[in-house]
Structure 1
Amino acid sequence: MKDVGSVALFTIFAAFIAFFIFDSGDSTGSGISGTYEQESYGSLPEEPSREEIEETLRDRSFTSVDDMIEETFPQLDTVQTDRGRSEIYMTSKFNLREVEELITSEVPPAEVGDRQSDKQALIYPDEFVILKESEEEAGLVLIELAEKEFVRNNYRPSFFDGMLAYALLNRAFGTNDWQNRQRDRCASGGCYGGYSMYGGNSGSFRGSSNRGGGPGVGK
Structure 2
Amino acid sequence: MRDIGSVVLFSIFAAFIAFFIFDSGDGADNGMSGTYNEQSYESLPEEPTRGEIEDSLDGQSYTSVETMIEETFPQLDTVQTDRGRSEIYMTSEYNLREVEELIVEEVKPEDTGDRQGDKQALIYPDNFVILKESEEEAGLILIELAEKEFVQNNYSPSFFEGMLAYALLNQAFGTNDWRSTQRDRCDNGGCYGGYSMYGGNSGSFRGSSTRGGGPSVGK
What TM-score do the two structures reach when normalised by structure 2? 0.77
Q: Deviations over 1:144-187 (max 9, x none)?
A: 00000000000000000010010000000001110000001100
Corresponding residue number in structure 1 for 2:7: none
Q: Deviations over 1:119-151 (max 9, x none)?
A: 000000100000000000000000000000000
The one-letter code sitting in structure 1 at the alignment partner of 2:169 is L
Deviation at 1:40, TM superposition (A): 7.4
For the residues of structure 2 that align with 1:207 and 1:117, how far apart are their CA atoms? 27
Q: Which runs of 5+ in 2 are unaligned?
A: 1-9, 215-219
Residue 143 of structure 2: SS of its match in structure 1? strand
Q: Deviations over 1:95-118 (max 9, x none)?
A: 000000000010000000000110
Corresponding residue number in structure 1 for 2:150: 150
Indicate how the Cα distance of structure 1 residues 130 and 207 shifts in structure 2: closer, same or farther if over 3 A, else same: farther
Indicate how the Cα distance of structure 1 residues 130 and 53 shifts in structure 2: closer, same or farther if over 3 A, else same: same
Q: Deviations over 1:64-109 (max 9, x none)?
A: 0000000000000000000000000000000000000000010000
For the residues of structure 2 that align with 1:171 and 1:62, how far apart are their CA atoms? 25
Corresponding residue number in structure 2 for 1:217: none
The one-letter code sitting in structure 2 at the alignment partner of 1:206 is G
Corresponding residue number in structure 2 for 1:85: 85
Residue 181 of structure 2: SS of its match in structure 1? helix
The one-letter code sitting in structure 1 at the alignment partner of 2:206 is F
For the residues of structure 2 that align with 1:67 and 1:156, how far apart are their CA atoms? 27
| 1:116 equivalenced with 2:116 (yes/no) | yes
| 1:125 equivalenced with 2:125 (yes/no) | yes
The one-letter code sitting in structure 2 at the alignment partner of 1:197 is M
For the residues of structure 2 that align with 1:61 and 1:160, how far apart are their CA atoms? 30
| 1:42 equivalenced with 2:42 (yes/no) | yes
User: Contact 1:86–1:150 at 8 Å: present in 2 too?
Assistant: yes
The one-letter code sitting in structure 2 at the alignment partner of 1:129 is V
The one-letter code sitting in structure 1 at the alignment partner of 2:45 is P
The one-letter code sitting in structure 1 at the alignment partner of 2:48 is P
Q: Could you list the runs of 4 or more consecutive aligned residues of structure 1 that deviate by over 4 angstroms after TM superposition?
A: none
For the residues of structure 1 that align with 2:173 and 2:206, how far apart are their CA atoms? 22
Residue 41 of structure 1: SS of its match in structure 2? helix
Deviation at 1:39, TM superposition (A): 8.8
Q: Which runs of 5+ in 1 are unaligned?
A: 1-12, 215-219
Corresponding residue number in structure 2 for 1:205: 206
For the residues of structure 1 that align with 2:53 and 2:208, how far apart are their CA atoms? 26
For the residues of structure 2 that align with 1:163 and 1:139, how far apart are their CA atoms? 22
Structure with the bigger RCO (C-alpha within 8 Å, sep 6+) is 1
Question: Number of residue pairs matched?
Answer: 190
Q: Deviations over 1:22-42 (max 9, x none)?
A: xx97xx89x669xxxx69721
For the residues of structure 2 that align with 1:200 and 1:151, how far apart are their CA atoms? 18
The one-letter code sitting in structure 1 at the alignment partner of 2:129 is V
Please report the RMSD computed on the Cα atoms of aligned residues, expressed in angstroms: 3.0
**Paired-residue identity, %:** 75
For the residues of structure 2 that align with 1:101 and 1:48, how far apart are their CA atoms? 18
